[in-house]
Amino acid sequence: SAAEKGGYPDFMLKEIYDQPRTVRDTLAGRLVNGHLQFDELALTPEELAAIDRVYIIACGTSYHAGLIAKNLIEMWSRIPCEVEVASEFRYRNPIITPSTLVVAVSQSGETADTLAAIRDARIKGAKVFGITNVVGSPVARESDGVIYIKANKEIAVAATKSFLGQVAALTMLAMLLGQIKGGLTTAQIRMLFRELADTALQIEQILADTSAIDEAAAACKDATSALFIGRGIGATICYEGALKLKEISYLHAEAYAAGEMKHGPIALLHEGFPVIAVATKSPTYDKVVSNIQESKARGALIVAIATEGDEDIKKHADYVIYVPKVRDCFSAITASVPLQLFARSIALLRGCDVDQPRNLAKSVTVE
């Protein structure tokens, strides 16, 4: 009903605008005296300290949250971390020992493949953490510990606020592992936590003026295909941006690590072909700019997601969407938001139902 949408034209937009609150609620009460508190994880500090391998298992958008987390877990804790779609993980024979941590990420907590994967992992002796939005869901019940994201009910089929909640929760888990393994000091934890909390304000800034996003969307709406490119965290944002676009607008999209352009996707480019580049300030910023130039030279229409204050990017891109400056490890939280709005805007221009895309379900409880 209109009341449930809170005055927004569709649930997707409402849920995109819910995101600052999701981040705040997911973080609330987590930092106590410089220590991250996850009492519900039910693992002793010794068990946590013994973890020597992490698998993040998920499907769909939740899998993309996992890709982001891998970067943070390995950076801060130096524990090797793999991210796998649950339907693959469950049918192979992954290396699992009692010091393996499996993190199952599932908004609904009832995705069939994710559930089967954690059952199997526990039988093989892994410790399992669930990250879910639904209290008492199967994933929550069948894990050793659970971190709830506080996104409240998500109704639009395409995940938005649950994704940011997952990224926030996984970021805190990565910080906890970093603290336990000695990679992060208490002072660093405090500083990172404060910056993570600040992303709620930065999302509000993005949401305050979305006109540049709508202009870029209007320029791309008639394309038959689009390519998303980025590096590092930027590449993972691209996978999610391309998924959002194809699932709600039916415009074919794919995402590539920008360094792979020359190994195939550059062949697709022609006059007016949309290339959406995540070019926020990062250690690989200059490399991404080179990839933008290569694309531009083939006639591509460039939409760049860039850091506020980056005037230089205007020389290379047809459309620039600015996001506030954040530490690179938090850029997924901010830079994903314009890509959600971009997908929605294109879907509406193409006459699609953004809340209920064809052929898709909110949760996939059968294989």
Is 185 strand, coil or helix?
coil
Task: Name the residue nearer to ligand G6P (CB basis): 11 or 76.
Answer: 11
Told to check if 155 binds ligand G6P by CB under 6 A, we report: no
Task: Name the residue nearer to ligand G6P (CB basis): 281 or 362.
Answer: 362
Task: Name the residue nearer to ligand G6P (CB basis): 74 or 113.
Answer: 113
Q: Which of 22, 26, 62, 334 binds ligand G6P (CB under 6 A)?
A: 62
Residue nearest to ligand G6P (CB): 60
Q: Rounded CA gap, 270 and 121, in Å?
A: 46
Sequence-ordered list of residues with C-beta below 8 angstroms from that of 69, at least 6 positions apart, any chain: 56, 81, 83, 103, 167, 170, 171, 173, 174
Q: Which of 51, 147, 159, 206 binds ligand G6P (CB under 6 A)?
A: 159
Question: Residue type for 243, please?
Answer: L
Q: Which of 22, 26, 61, 282 binds ligand G6P (CB under 6 A)?
A: 61
Q: How far is the CB of 159 from ligand G6P (least distance, A)?
A: 4
Sequence-ordered list of residues with C-beta below 8 angstroms from that of 220, at least 6 positions apart, any chain: 226, 251, 274, 276, 301, 303, 346
Tokens 């192979």 — which residue?
Answer: 92
Site size toward ligand G6P, by CB under 6 A: 16
155-163, 205-213, 281-289, 322-330 -> range binding ligand G6P (CB under 6 A): 155-163
Q: How far is the CB of 176 from ligand G6P (least distance, A)?
A: 22
80-119 mask for ligand G6P (x: CB under 6 A)? --------------------------xxx--x--x-----
Q: How far is the CB of 61 from ligand G6P (least distance, A)?
A: 3
Q: Which of 16, 48, 59, 335 binds ligand G6P (CB under 6 A)?
A: 59
Told to check if 60 binds ligand G6P by CB under 6 A, we report: yes
Told to check if 157 binds ligand G6P by CB under 6 A, we report: yes
Task: Name the residue nearer to ligand G6P (CB basis): 62 or 199.
Answer: 62
Is 340 strand, coil or helix?
helix
Sequence-ordered list of residues with C-beta below 8 angstroms from that of 233, at least 6 positions apart, any chain: 68, 71, 282, 328, 329, 331, 332
Burial of 174 (0-12, 13-18, 19+ CB in 10 A): buried
Q: How far is the CB of 96 from ligand G6P (least distance, A)?
A: 21
Told to check if 364 binds ligand G6P by CB under 6 A, we report: yes
Q: At what angle do helices 233-249 and 60-77 cross, to 10 degrees?
A: 170
Residue 246: active-site member: no
Closest C-alpha to 57, from 22, 27, 94, 98: 94
Question: Helices (DSSP H) in the chain: which residue ranges?
Answer: 11-17, 19-27, 45-49, 60-77, 86-89, 112-123, 138-141, 161-180, 186-208, 211-220, 233-249, 285-297, 331-349
Binding site for ligand G6P (CB under 6 A): 59-62, 106-108, 111, 114, 157-159, 360, 362-364
Q: Which residues are catalytic?
A: 362
